[in-house]
Amino acid sequence: MIDRASLQANFTAVEGRVAAACLKAGRPRESVTLIAVSKLHPSEVIRLGWELGQRDFGENYAQELRDKHAGLAECAGLRWHAIGPVQPKNAKYVAKAAFLFHALERLEVAQELSKRRVGAPLKCLIEVNVAGEASKAGIAPTELAAFIEAVRALPQLEVVGLTAMPPISEDPEASRPHFKALRELASQHGISQLSMGTTGDFEVAIEEGATLVRVGTAIFGHRPT
């Protein structure tokens, strides 16, 4: 498990990269939210991050989100981001715990989330398969308008933006056209939030308009097996 000093150093380094990318793009630093992706890392590490001032954490698995949400309930101001796909049977966990859901791409999941959500509507980002990869989840760009309309008809959900995962590449610049395509889709549909960019390419994502970046390895190190 990562120690406090190393975690602080990693947060400082990532914050420097985010700030530099914002400066290069001519954007204010506060226009980008850093989400620390804590998937498979123990709650003790998340608590350390919270003590260091981080408030936004991302979890991929609904049941892990459920358990960490319950175990860290005393951490005031901690915001959980559900960033992975969810099965309809597990939507209840996301509906209860998530501040923002980043991977909405099935209407049956949207319906379950709306049914299970109590209180303020759950803010959602629709996942778009901008590269048209057969192996990737996400709505096809041509089907996006109809999907947005269907989700907006549900009472306990609010569509606030889009998300996408470009094809894996060691070259951050390879992600740029996909980030640009997502930004243009968001503009066409009048929505402003863009969740895109991970440890390897989040600077490029910020240059192309990301408002939320999801960084795991550069903060917490490699995930436990």
Region label for 93, one of left (φ > 0), alpha (ψ between -120 and 50) or beta (otherwise): alpha
| Domain extent for 120 | 4-219
Distance CA 186, CA 184 (A): 5
pTM of the entire structure? 0.96
SS3 157: strand
Alpha helices (H) in the chain, listed in sequence order: 4-25, 43-51, 62-71, 91-97, 107-116, 144-152, 176-188, 202-207, 217-220
Structural domains counted in the chain: 1
pLDDT at 53: 98
- 18 inside domain: yes
- 54 inside domain: yes
Q: Which residues of the chain have pLDDT under 70?
A: 225
pLDDT at 131: 87
pLDDT at 1: 85
- 225 inside domain: no
pLDDT at 42: 96
Residue 57 sits in a domain whose CATH number is: 3.20.20.10
- 118 inside domain: yes
